[in-house]
Amino acid sequence: MFGFDYDNKKILLTNLNGKIYATDRICTHAEADLSNGILTEEGITCPLHLSVFNLETGMPQNGPAEKPLSTYNVKIEQNEIYVEVD
């Protein structure tokens, strides 16, 4: 996992089984930093109250979080990772 800031957005890059995902880095429940969370096959687990977010859709799989994370398109070219941020 790798977190970075860009243009007031806090982004989390994750590598799950060789696929790179980009989502918001801040939990939609109580603003925990997901880069301190746990990455599993189910997604990223929030370190504060343990909601698990799907990396593809950003949807929480369990409470207490109810709102999804924003997700961003990722492109890899010549070993460089590009994230499409609106």
Name the residues that contact ligand FES, by CB under 6 A: 27, 29-30, 32, 46, 48-49, 51, 64-65
Q: Which is nearer to ligand FES, 9 or 49 (CB)?
A: 49
Q: Which residues, other chains included, contact 61 with Cβ-Cβ below 8 Å and sequence gap of 6+?
A: 42, 43, 51, 52, 53, 54
Q: Which is nearer to ligand FES, 21 or 28 (CB)?
A: 28
Nearest-approach distance from CB 64 to ligand FES, in angstroms: 5
Local structure of 57: helix, strand or coil: coil
Contact 59, 23 (CB under 8 A): no
Q: Which is nearer to ligand FES, 19 or 44 (CB)?
A: 44
Nearest-approach distance from CB 43 to ligand FES, in angstroms: 12
Strand runs labelled E in the chain: 2-6, 9-16, 19-24, 38-40, 43-45, 52-53, 71-77, 80-84
Nearest-approach distance from CB 27 to ligand FES, in angstroms: 3
